[in-house]
Amino acid sequence: MALSEAQIQTLARDAIQRAAAGDFAAAEPLFAQVADARPNSGQALHLLGQARLKLGRFAEAREPLERAAKFLLRDPAAQVNLAGCLSVLGEHALALEALERAMRLKPGDATIAHNRGRALQALGRAEEAERAYDEALAVDHRLLPSLTARADLLAKRGDWMGALADLDMALTSRPGNARLLVQRAELLLGQGDWLRGLPDYEARLELPDGRYIPDLPRWQGEPLTGKLLIYPEQTDIESDAALRDTLMLARGVDATIQCSARLADWLDGPTIRRGDSLKDFAVAAPLRSLPYLLNWSLDSLPPAPPLRDREQAGHGKPVVGGDDWQTHLAARRGAPTVIVLSDAADWLWGSRTGISPWYANLELVAR
């Protein structure tokens, strides 16, 4: 049965009130009824699409947002919301078209310029993306998303100073922001600047990202009065990253290592499994915090402890591989080893190639 004008008005008012209160689950079906009753109302379609965006129902939001954008030809917000939906769905070329329309309607808008940069970056058009971020920052020089995005692009093309300047500017607006500190840390550490990078890198432990944290006080480098546990912070202790970190970083401190059973028989020292009781330990530290806590540098790394020699055969055979735990194991066992680093090499290697300070018999080469 067709709704009367009064009923449509009542539904729209109720839906808008619920959306304003943040109850999009209740608002969405009401907006849907209004859009069904007024299929040529760009505003009703736009509100329905926005409600579905808020609910994370991006595929369902696309159709009303596309229709709204055709009706609301002079409303930049309709184009921007459509672009946001399309970007989430991976339709970056179509998102860029919507943003181009929005820019023509509202030239000089920093947020639109930033979103255009994101679309261009997703399409692999890095130079154009950088120019879009430049445009956004020319309007608002402290626009945080553009500063961090441009810093990433600058770092990828080797402009470390420019990237660092952008992150420093971002941190003036958000001092102590953990994600910004970690981004700056990885930039500095990748260039071998451990003195400035390592303190910032500790901010990763404040992030809500998936990370294993044992139920023990965190060791801050103070003199030990009880047993110390060192552990890989990866949630999956059997992962390549956890195995690799254990082989690379478990050195320079008298501690028990929490590690995979695959490594326990190789390590010549006390180990425990994840899930074992921690009642005998006073404090704990993640392996990736040891360079900071123990004041390491690439020129003053403690030697890697020897492994238990379980297998004599093949001990001296040369090994060439990637930055994975099996190659690290070969290097720790004394085999002549070459690790081929990718463009996204771990900051622990620094910016050097050639003979590595991590293992005496290891050479690093760039891919």
Per-residue pLDDT of the chain (367 residues; tens, 9 = 90+): 678 889 889 999 999 999 999 999 999 999 999 999 999 999 999 999 999 999 999 999 999 999 999 999 999 999 999 999 999 999 999 999 999 999 999 999 999 999 999 999 999 999 999 999 999 999 999 999 999 999 999 999 989 999 999 999 999 999 999 999 999 999 999 888 999 999 999 999 999 888 999 999 999 999 988 999 999 999 999 999 999 999 999 999 999 999 999 999 899 899 999 999 999 999 999 999 999 999 999 989 999 988 886 554 445 689 999 999 999 999 999 899 999 998 888 999 988 789 999 998 999 998 8
Q: What is the DSSP letter of 48?
A: H
pTM assigned to the model:
0.82
Q: Which residues of 84-100 are buried (b: 16+ CB within 10 A; e: fewer)?
A: bbbbeeebbebbbbbbe
Give the C-alpha separation, 91 to 220, whole Å: 47
Phi-psi sector, 257: left (phi>0), alpha (psi -120 to 50), beta: beta
How much is the pLDDT for 314?
A: 47
How high is the pLDDT of residue 271?
A: 96
Distance CA 195, CA 28 (A): 53
Residues in the chain: 367
Q: Is 226 exposed, middle or buried (0-12, 13-18, 19+ CB in 10 A)?
A: exposed
Domain span(s) for CATH 1.25.40.10 in the chain: 5-205
CATH class held by domain 5-205: mainly alpha
